[in-house]
Structure formats: structure tokens, C-alpha cells
Structure 1
């Protein structure tokens, strides 16, 4: 059963370039993970510093493995998370 995560991030607009660059790099690296089916990062229109990320994996174990990668530690935990003012995540499984 496929597993998805949809995250909404809000950073200060002055940090948007750093977050944008990290998400672009993450998109490239996540696509090489064996369980990754999709990793799409979007910048919210008309809301400076707002981003949305859609991730899809073969199963929850694939998502958990994604969170243990070096690139997640560096780009998301180490770069993006410290710059966020707000973060919400919704998890879903395929019906």
C-alpha cells in the first residue's frame, strides 16, 4: 500500500532562497531512493516563504528509510527545519 506525506512549510521570506535550493537538491536525491515513487516540491503562489512538498513511497517503511538518509539529515533536518516558522505534515495511505 503506497504511503504519502504532504508537508507545508513557512519560512521567513529572507530564508526562501536557502529553503528552495535545499528542496531542489532533495528532489533530485530522493528520486534515487528505492522506495520513492514521487517527490515534488512547490513554492506557494502569492505567499512569500511558503512551500509545499508531496512525497510518495511504496510503503511506510520506505518513508521511514527516507528519513534515515544522509541527504535528509543534511538538507531537511540540518538546513530546512531550522529555518521554518511553521510546519504541518499530513500522512496518507492509498485506499
Structure 2
């Protein structure tokens, strides 16, 4: 069963350009993963510094492989997360 991730990220407006660039880098690397079905990055309208990510993988194991990837550590964990003021993530099974 396909596995989806919806993440809401917020950063200071001054950090938005850096977070945006990093998320777009992560998007390209993630889309090349065999288990990735979708990785869409959105800037939330009328909320500077807010982003919405929608990710879909073939299954939970595919997402676990994604989290173990070097690009996830380098771009998301080391670059994006330290700049965030708020982060929430929802995991779901695609029906």
C-alpha cells in the first residue's frame, strides 16, 4: 500500500529563500529514489516562510529508505530543520 507524508514547515521570513532552495534540492534528489512516487514542495500562500510538502512512496519501507539517504541528512536534517520555527508531519496510508 502506498505511503504518504504531509509536512508543514515554518521558518522566519528572512530564512525562507534558503529553506526554499534546500527543499527544491531535496525534491530533485528524492524524485530519483526508486520508491518515490511524488515529492511536491509548496510555498503557503499569504504566509511568508511557510511550506507544505506532499510526499508519496510505494510503501513505508520506501519512506524509511528515503530517511536513510545521504541527501536527506545533508539537506533536510542539517540545512532545513535548524532553520525551522515549527514543523509538523502527518503519515498516511493511501487508500
TM-score normalized by structure 1? 0.98
1:21 counterpart = 2:21: yes
1:42 counterpart = 2:42: yes
RMSD over aligned CA atoms reads: 0.5
How far apart are the structure 2 equivalents of 1:26 and 1:94?
22
Structure 1 residue 49 displacement after superposition? 0.3
Aligned residues: 95
Structure 1 residue 33 displacement after superposition? 0.3
Q: Which runs of 4+ in 1 moved over 3 A?
A: none
TM-score normalized by structure 2? 0.98
Alignment of 1:58-77 (within 5 A): 58-77=58-77
Q: Secondary structure at the match of 1:47?
A: coil
1:3 counterpart = 2:3: yes
Structure 1 residue 94 displacement after superposition? 1.7
Q: Partner residue of 2:32?
A: 32
Segments of 5+ residues of structure 1 without an aligned counterpart are none
Segments of 5+ residues of structure 2 without an aligned counterpart are none
